[in-house]
Chain A
Amino acid sequence: MGMRLIARFTARCGRLLLVLAAVAVAAFSLIQASPIDPVDAYLGPQVAQVSPEQRTLIAERWGFDDPAAVQFVKWARNLANGELGWSHVYNAPVSDIIASRFRASLSLLAIAWLGSTLLGFALGVIAGSHEGSLADRLIRLYSYTLASTPIFWLAIAVLLLFSVGLGWTPVCCASPPGMLRADVDWLTRLHHLLLPALTLSLLGVAQIALHTRARMLELMRSDIALYALAQGATRRDIAWRHGARHACLPALTLALASLGELFGGSILVEQVFAYPGLGQATVEAGLRSDIPLLLAIALFTTLFVSLGNAFADLLYRWVDPRLREEVRP
């Protein structure tokens, strides 16, 4: 048993390493194929205000003039030594940037993820167990509307409503204007996190709710449900006693597989709310050809999503006893 676990673990790690390598190569090739001239991007509007000599100097200083293969090998060698490289956009070590930005993003992602999973699941169970009822129709309407709403639009809409119109939430940032980081307590932080996290969690709700509902419907139409009904159980009893455990498998899969999507959504939400997370850094790195930073973010996200999926596999075994048994030939 122990041997088998270790073997499984090693295989998983090996696969993860392969995925990471493939992502690194793919991301790097995409950057190379991108039409951005790093020197022009570095200079921005000052593109014609520095001399040709200065352009050469800029390319030398930040390593823009090395051939692509050399850049990649240099980067890979640094990585092997545990260094992620130097970001020219922020003029700082990549590891520092990722650490500080991810700390800001983490609470946002965590709240949004928990929110969307729990809310989506609850809505799905309610809708699925009362097929055709008013609640079901409302939840479906809500889910379809939400599923077809672009997240940035939603973000701007809630910003206008809650921050500008009603004035309940702050318009931007992770802390109030003029307040030092050290003076910001957790309640203020939460207050600033509320709207972005809410918007982001709405992103995942629709999918999870609809899938949970479908699984729930299946169950409610099954013999098990019929038998329980015949014994005098209410629909709610059946839903929560028997259905929830069944229905949470697709919800779990979706919730953990959608971590990548959540991360993508956070990029847009962070832009709208001027929330300084990893999303903003990704946009900058991409638009300005910051190779070490962009590769590091790509790898980091891959790791994040892979771990999410691995975690989902573990949870399956815990939730569903059928998966715990060893498959025998």
Chain B
Amino acid sequence: MPRRFVFWPASVAICLSFTFPLPVLAKDELVLAIGGEPDQGYDPLLGWGQYGHPLFQSTLLVRRADLSSKPDLATAWSLSDDRLTWTLELRDDVRFSDGSPLTATDVAFTFNQAAKAGGRADLSVLQHARALDDRHVRLTLKEPRITFVESFYTLGIVPAAGRDNGYHDSYGRQPLGSGPYQLVEWQEGEQLIVERNPYFHGPTPAFERLVFLFTGEDTTLAAANAGRLDVAAVPPALAGQPPTGMYPLEMETVDNRGILFPMHPDDGERRGTGAPIGNDVTADPAIRHAINLALDREMLVEVALHGHGRPAYGPADGLPWSNPEDQIEDANPEAAIALLEDADWRLGDNGLRHKNGQTARFRLTYPASDSTRQMLAEVVAAMLTPLGIEAQPTGRHWDEIEREALHRDAILFGWGSHSPQEIYYLYHSQHAGQAFYNAGDYANATVDDYLDAAQQAASFEDSLSLWQKAQWDGETGYGMRGDAAWAWLVNLEHVYYVDECLDLGELPIAPHGHGWPLTASLLDWQWECD
């Protein structure tokens, strides 16, 4: 009986392995498990391509690894003096993967339609787009907004609805574009198979065929260990144990975690949603500065991220719109204590500081489902105890955070974007108190001026110094040396197992979201073995 038991599955396995040889991992085909399945399909108008490479479509511009611009569909672009009109010139040799030409009409349609679509692609500032002739398109904005250029990098161009092969309701499942790859089959919830687009206008990608598996974390790991994958997104804790034949790739990110402080004292006011506003302790700049000074961010990376990350000092560390001068010597509890003493926060009998009858105590709220944030909150609380500040780590559901905590507690958030528009939402007083944007009601007229000036800059490059000044201009800013509206803690690292033969080229700093952003450099990927 035992012999039969072993024999049966083994013989089936042997039969199967003869009948169905596993696909040979030749250099023609890559198998990747990096998540990123868009449930709504591969429709740029609904947000496909906001991160990483859109595969099927091409965009007006593309980013280099250092985030500078490179032409793709557009060869020239200019912004009018009133900052309301973009005029772009297009290449004339671009074809969709069915061989039909891509013209300015398609570009104009894509932008107009995306503005109405109500998806994740935000073009709400677009007034209208118009094709001037086959090769020129004009985009008119409702108000100056330099961060509109983000759509040049992320909005894949689709064929206009008026054409025979044009955009239609189920475009997301039958995408047609001018990108490097075309869809072969999408087995929803399972895998995506793509092949090179023969009409692609750019350099021919090194791999004829890509297979993206949409497996969960455990299954991805199992598949990687079984040797079925060329690239796998894995949790950082596993960076040290890659399967044979693969190396762990640690990608730097601005996928950050930081503490948002409520900026106003508690006056008993409430938001329209009923959420209470204000916190008497965090409203004091001395508290916020002391926390920023005292935190040992290197230690946070070691303890909470197992070493897989880097300290965060701002919302966009290392990106061109972040100010490198907004730096402090952190991990310095002595300086923090001196600062608190100067601000009249006196140590009481219970080991906590007091000022005007107020105890230095606040809730540090984190979404209960996120174990990394829980760990960060616990370690931060431990680091603040010697100062006489009690941060009480409190795990709550997002809904409860929105109802109870959003404008009253210090909250552990995570952001990180390839567009400085995020800075605008987080720190402009126009968005003060609006849900998740500027939840702490931060308001500084000088910062507002810089942020508005940045939006009205003549070019994206010109806007960079203004974004930086909003963080710290030598006197004020939203950053640690200025108002210290946040205490940024860490930037995560995204870890992938990559086949030892696969060279992924130079990688940019990745945004929030582990997985698909890796494909940003897709066209540079090379196979290094025979």
Minimal beta-carbon separation of B424 from chain A (angstroms): 10
The residue in chain B whose Cβ has the minimal distance to the Cβ of A180 is B185
What 0/1 pattern do residues 1 to 22 of B give for CB contact below 8 A with A?
0000000011011001001101
The one of B19, B43, B399 that contacts A187, using a Cβ cutoff of 8 Å: B19
The residue in chain B whose Cβ has the minimal distance to the Cβ of A88 is B40
The one of B19, B122, B397 that contacts A49, using a Cβ cutoff of 8 Å: B122
Q: A179-B23, A271-B216 are in contact. Are A191 and B16 (CB under 8 A)?
A: yes
Q: Which of A52, A54, A100, A181 has the most CB of B within 10 A?
A: A54
| A181 contacts across to B, CB distance below 8 A | 185, 187
| B222 contacts across to A, CB distance below 8 A | 159-160, 163-164, 171-172
Pairwise interchain contact B426-A48, C-beta atoms closer than 8 A: yes
The residue in chain B whose Cβ has the minimal distance to the Cβ of A162 is B9
The one of B41, B216, B225, B513 that contacts A45, using a Cβ cutoff of 8 Å: B513
| B189 contacts across to A, CB distance below 8 A | 274, 276, 280-281
Pairwise interchain contact A61-B118, C-beta atoms closer than 8 A: yes
Pairwise interchain contact B118-A172, C-beta atoms closer than 8 A: no
| A90 contacts across to B, CB distance below 8 A | 39-41, 188
The residue in chain B whose Cβ has the minimal distance to the Cβ of A58 is B118
| A62 contacts across to B, CB distance below 8 A | 118
B193 at the interface (CB under 8 A from A): yes
* A residues 138-182 in Cβ contact with B at 8 Å: 156, 159-160, 163-164, 166-169, 171-181
A7 at the interface (CB under 8 A from B): no
Pairwise interchain contact A276-B188, C-beta atoms closer than 8 A: yes
B190 at the interface (CB under 8 A from A): yes
Q: Interface with B: A32-40, A121-129, A321-329, which one?
A: A32-40
Q: A90-B40, A177-B191 are in contact. Are A57 and B118 (CB under 8 A)?
A: yes
A114 at the interface (CB under 8 A from B): no
Pairwise interchain contact A177-B213, C-beta atoms closer than 8 A: yes
The one of A42, A89, A159, A180 that contacts B193, using a Cβ cutoff of 8 Å: A180
Pairwise interchain contact A172-B122, C-beta atoms closer than 8 A: no
B219 at the interface (CB under 8 A from A): yes
Q: A60-B118, A168-B10, A180-B185 are in contact. Are A37 and B20 (CB under 8 A)?
A: no
Minimal beta-carbon separation of A168 from chain B (angstroms): 4
Pairwise interchain contact B119-A92, C-beta atoms closer than 8 A: no
| A60 contacts across to B, CB distance below 8 A | 118
> How far apart are the CA atoms of A52 and B436 in the complex, in Å?
10
Pairwise interchain contact A37-B209, C-beta atoms closer than 8 A: no
Pairwise interchain contact A46-B50, C-beta atoms closer than 8 A: yes
A10 at the interface (CB under 8 A from B): no
Q: A48-B422, A61-B118, A159-B219 are in contact. Are A177 and B23 (CB under 8 A)?
A: yes
B63 at the interface (CB under 8 A from A): no
Pairwise interchain contact B173-A92, C-beta atoms closer than 8 A: yes
> How far apart are the CA atoms of A58 and B114 in the complex, in Å?
12
Minimal beta-carbon separation of B241 from chain A (angstroms): 14
Pairwise interchain contact B120-A180, C-beta atoms closer than 8 A: no
Pairwise interchain contact A188-B20, C-beta atoms closer than 8 A: yes
Q: A48-B437, A52-B434, A272-B218 are in contact. Are A163 and B226 (CB under 8 A)?
A: yes
A222 at the interface (CB under 8 A from B): no
> How far apart are the CA atoms of A188 and B417 in the complex, in Å?
43
Pairwise interchain contact A46-B173, C-beta atoms closer than 8 A: no
Pairwise interchain contact B190-A175, C-beta atoms closer than 8 A: yes
Pairwise interchain contact A58-B119, C-beta atoms closer than 8 A: yes
Pairwise interchain contact B122-A178, C-beta atoms closer than 8 A: no
The residue in chain A whose Cβ has the minimal distance to the Cβ of B415 is A48
A81 at the interface (CB under 8 A from B): no
| A272 contacts across to B, CB distance below 8 A | 216, 218-219
A53 at the interface (CB under 8 A from B): yes
Pairwise interchain contact A168-B421, C-beta atoms closer than 8 A: no
Pairwise interchain contact B187-A175, C-beta atoms closer than 8 A: yes
Pairwise interchain contact B120-A43, C-beta atoms closer than 8 A: yes
Pairwise interchain contact A168-B219, C-beta atoms closer than 8 A: no
Pairwise interchain contact B193-A48, C-beta atoms closer than 8 A: no
Pairwise interchain contact B172-A168, C-beta atoms closer than 8 A: no
The residue in chain A whose Cβ has the minimal distance to the Cβ of B117 is A61
Pairwise interchain contact A37-B219, C-beta atoms closer than 8 A: no
Pairwise interchain contact A187-B124, C-beta atoms closer than 8 A: no
> How far apart are the CA atoms of A232 and B492 in the complex, in Å?
76
Pairwise interchain contact A176-B187, C-beta atoms closer than 8 A: no
The residue in chain A whose Cβ has the minimal distance to the Cβ of B513 is A45
B402 at the interface (CB under 8 A from A): yes
| A47 contacts across to B, CB distance below 8 A | 436
| A40 contacts across to B, CB distance below 8 A | 398, 436
B214 at the interface (CB under 8 A from A): yes
| B187 contacts across to A, CB distance below 8 A | 173-175, 181, 276
B346 at the interface (CB under 8 A from A): no
The residue in chain A whose Cβ has the minimal distance to the Cβ of B213 is A177
> How far apart are the CA atoms of A14 and B125 in the complex, in Å?
54
B31 at the interface (CB under 8 A from A): yes
Pairwise interchain contact B213-A274, C-beta atoms closer than 8 A: yes
- A sample of 20 more A-B contacts (CB under 8 A), given A48-B436, A167-B226, A169-B13, is A48-B422, A48-B426, A49-B422, A58-B118, A62-B118, A90-B188, A91-B39, A100-B188, A156-B218, A168-B13, A172-B215, A173-B215, A176-B23, A178-B23, A178-B211, A180-B184, A191-B20, A274-B214, A276-B187, A281-B189
- CB-defined A-B contacts under 8 Å, sample of 5: A57-B116, A171-B228, A178-B23, A187-B20, A284-B39
